[in-house]
Amino acid sequence: MPMRQTLEKYLDWFKSGVKEIVAANDTSGYHSTIIGDGNPSLLFDNRIWRRDPANDPESLEPRFTNADAIFHLNPKAKIIAILRDPVTRLISEYNYFKEDREEIQSAANFHNLIVRNTKELRDCMNNHTPRYCLYSFSSDEYWHKTGRVNVGLYAAHLKEFYRVFPPEQVLVLSMEACGSDYTSCLGKTLNFLELEPIDSMAIGQKVETKTNKTRLNASKVSVPVWNSTIQLLKDFYKPYNEELTMLLGSEFNYN
């Protein structure tokens, strides 16, 4: 949601869906419609927390984050987070935003960017709380368009939602696991949403569609990345990945 928009403007996006739900209610009040927001930034992007009147703008870190706002709007909301190896996620994002930047794209430029951003975040963590650093750095537009290493600190972001929502209302999936076993991943999701399972033929069609899209995306030209850059990122994320493993289990051991 752009920073200039209000919460009321954001809620306007859901009005038509709500009208459809009300119109589809049966005599008992039941409806079969699910409405959600698929924006991954809701997990980590709290750039405008100081504009929330529930927060103290003079404070170093927010008292309330996106998790609190979602809970306030709908305490029965179900949260689904799909995580990806933070190193490959960051490289993929850099490639996604490469057309939005003016500087020449090269392995050297990307390496220098990662050196700068990991150092700044590490230095901050040595002097402040993780929450202070995460919500301070995410306000930098340069980070937003290039190397947001802060996004990959998954445990810190998820703890905001576990702080607010009961664990049974939060489902965390691994993109790697879903890629290798789409049927199981979809089954977990449907069960979490209390929906009936989909027959195997329908699942097969979805897998084929997903595979074709993946092939198209893989054909795009990517900015080259040095092995030393990848190793730098692996070393940086190591302690945070360990924290994530303690929180969610070995399936999410990205080390």
Residues spanned by the domain of 205: 36-252
| Half-sphere exposure for 11 (CA within 13 Å, toward CB) | 7
Q: What distance in Å separates the CA atoms of residue 112 and residue 133, rounded to the nearest whole number?
A: 21
Q: Residue 1: inside a domain, yes or no?
A: no
The enclosing domain of 45 has a CATH number of: 3.40.50
Phi-psi region of 105 (alpha: psi -120 to 50; beta: other; left: phi over 0): beta
Q: Is 41 a domain residue?
A: yes
Q: What is the pTM of this model?
A: 0.84
pLDDT of residue 24: 74
Rounded distance between C-alpha atoms, residue 255 and residue 242, angstroms: 8
> What confidence category does residue 15 fall into, taking pLDDT thresholds of 50, 70 and 90?
confident
Q: 3 in a domain, yes or no?
A: no
> Distances from the Cα of 14 to the Cαs of 19, 41, 49, 71, 78, in angstroms?
9, 18, 22, 16, 16
- As a whole number, the mean pLDDT across the chain is 83
172 found inside a domain: yes
- For residue 25, tell me if it sits in a domain: no
Whether residue 179 is contained in a domain is answered as yes
Longest dimension (CA), the chain: 64
Residue 218: what pLDDT?
46
pLDDT digits (tens, 9 = 90+) for 227-250: 999 999 999 999 999 999 999 999
pLDDT tier at 205, thresholds 50, 70, 90: low
Structurally, how many domains does the chain consist of?
1
Tokens of 78: 């179900």
Strands (DSSP E) found in the chain: 79-83, 170-174
Q: What is the pLDDT of residue 139?
A: 47
Is the model's pLDDT at 66 over the cut of 70?
A: yes
Whether 163 is covered by a domain: the verdict is yes
Q: Is residue 197 part of a domain?
A: yes
